[in-house]
Every structure is written in structure tokens, then in C-alpha cells.
Amino acid sequence: MSDSWIAGINPVDGALNNDAERVREVLVEIGQRNPRVQELAERARGLKIAVHQRPREQLDRLAGEARHQGVIARYEAPPTASESDLPDLLAKAGSEALVLVLDGVTDPHNLGACLRSAAAARVTAVIVPKDRAVGLTPVVRRASAGGADRVPLIAATNLARVLRVLKDAGVWITGLAGDTETSIYGIDLKGPVALVMGSEGEGMRRLTRETCDFVARIPMPGSMESLNVSVATGIVLFEALRQRGGLA
């Protein structure tokens, strides 16, 4: 476990609501008058969490690229999942297993948004390549709106090997690409399924694509050729939920 900084009103609010026992302290900008920030500070004190006044420069430094809005919290992140955890996660999910594989998403806002969608869609695990993906930075945590701590995130040393583990466990793998005629709406996404999204610029790598059982696209009748990876992720995850009857 390691400490990180959660920045911004909504992320800190989410941490206090859902995971307060992991919040170690809250820092509030000196002179901050925003009523929501003041309410967060009072709630933290009520939870016996230390609250400190600090200059804006210190919050800027600790928050990094994230916009802190005058409040940040030091958070003890839960243990991260590893490749060895995957078989147990799949076994517990059984026929409801739904895995999201992100083959090289490097933009922290995109990764955060994907984790947010994954949490909303009850995804079993999110798998990323260890060397070709952004880590759980403050920006990722903020963009995920709490999703980063609700879905197991597995950084795979060898993504193709992990995909084979999925296949050996009976998981059918569908990759998303724009250069195929097969529609995602024509793929059976019931039962144990993994959905593979490529990187922002290059899409899926060749070996990743070759490991997939199916390759499909999201039909787009308009003039655009592709969608942002986080938008596409939300579409395919909720198509899987629709087919499974999980949107009733």
C-alpha cells in the first residue's frame, strides 16, 4: 500500500463518503472560502481525520497536474491487483465475468474515464500493459471519480500472456478496431467476456489483435472515423450490460 494525493472537491468528497478509513489527512488552502470545501473540512474533522491549512503553492505541488480547487487529501491506496489475482477474480465472477483490456492507453484523463465507466459497468478487472500505460496519478484518480479504487487494475508484464490466461479460463475476447465490417452489436457479449481497446493513436498492437477471438467495430454513420477511447469504452461496456440484461 502507498499514499497518494486526491485533489479536488468531488474526489475528496467521494473518498470521505466511500473510503474514509483510508484518508489520512485533508489539506485546505489558506483563506479558502468555498462552502463545499469548508463542509469537507468539517466532515473530515467529524471523522477524526486531521485537517490542516496550507498555502496554495503547497497544494499546487502536491496535486501535480490535477486541479485541486483548494482541497486535497492524503489517501492510502488499497493493495493493487496483480496477474496472479486474475484467476480468482474470474472464478468469483463466473459466467458474469466482464474484463476490460486497455492496450496502451497513455492519457491520464482517458484512463480515468475508462476506470469510471468500468466501475459503473461492474467490470471484473481492468488490465493494462505495465510498460505502455499511465499509472494511477492524481489526474487519473480525479478523472475516475472513485472508479480507480472500485475496480481491480492489473498491470500486465506480458499482455499477450495474460490474454491467453483469459482464454484458458473460458473468456471470449473481442477487440475493437475500425477496419473490420463486423459490428459490435452483432457479437454475443453474454457469458465470460473480455473487451480490448487499443491505444489513442495506434489502436491494438498486432500480437494483441491476433490473440482476440473476434474483432469488431462501433458503427458510425456520421463523418467521423473514430471515437475517443474512453467514449468507445463506455459504449461497448454498456452494450455488454444490455445484452446481459443488466440495464433493466
CATH number of the CATH domain containing 29: 3.30.1330.30
Is residue 26 within 8 A of residue 72, CB to CB? The reply is: yes
The verdict on 59 and 91 lying in the same domain is: no
The verdict on 131 and 234 lying in the same domain is: yes
Looking at residue 248, what is its pLDDT?
61
Query: What sign does the CA torsion over 156, 159, 163, 164 have?
Result: negative
Q: Which of 25, 42, 76 is the last residue of a domain?
A: 76
The verdict on 54 and 121 lying in the same domain is: no
The verdict on 94 and 204 lying in the same domain is: yes
CATH number of the CATH domain containing 205: 3.40.1280.10
The verdict on 100 and 33 lying in the same domain is: no
Question: Mean pLDDT over residues 200-212, rounded?
Answer: 88
Choice between 1 and 54, residue whose per-residue pLDDT is larger: 54
Is residue 76 within 8 A of residue 3, CB to CB? The reply is: yes
* Residues paired with residue 25 on neighbouring β-strands, in sequence order: 50, 74
157 in a domain, yes or no?
yes
92 in a domain, yes or no?
yes
Number of domains, the chain: 2
Q: What percentage of the chain carries pLDDT values higher than 70?
A: 97
The verdict on 55 and 101 lying in the same domain is: no
pLDDT > 70? residue 74: yes
Is residue 229 within 8 A of residue 101, CB to CB? The reply is: no
Is residue 192 within 8 A of residue 246, CB to CB? The reply is: no
The verdict on 224 and 168 lying in the same domain is: yes
The verdict on 64 and 95 lying in the same domain is: no
Q: What is the DSSP string of 213-232?
A: SEEEB----SS-S---HHHH
Fill in the DSSP letter of residue 103: E
For residue 81, CA distances in Å to 46, 84, 128, 166, 241 come to 32, 8, 11, 16, 24
Whole-prediction pTM: 0.80
126 in a domain, yes or no?
yes
Looking at residue 6, what is its pLDDT?
87
9, amino acid identity: I
pLDDT in tens, 25-40: 999 999 999 999 999 9
Distance of alpha carbon 146 from its chain centroid, rounded? 9
The verdict on 61 and 138 lying in the same domain is: no
Q: Which of 41, 76, 111 is the last residue of a domain?
A: 76
What residue numbers bound the domain in which 123 lies? 83-243
Q: Give all strands (DSSP E) within 47-171, no chain letters.
A: 50-54, 71-76, 98-103, 125-129, 153-156
Looking at residue 227, what is its pLDDT?
85
The verdict on 171 and 90 lying in the same domain is: yes
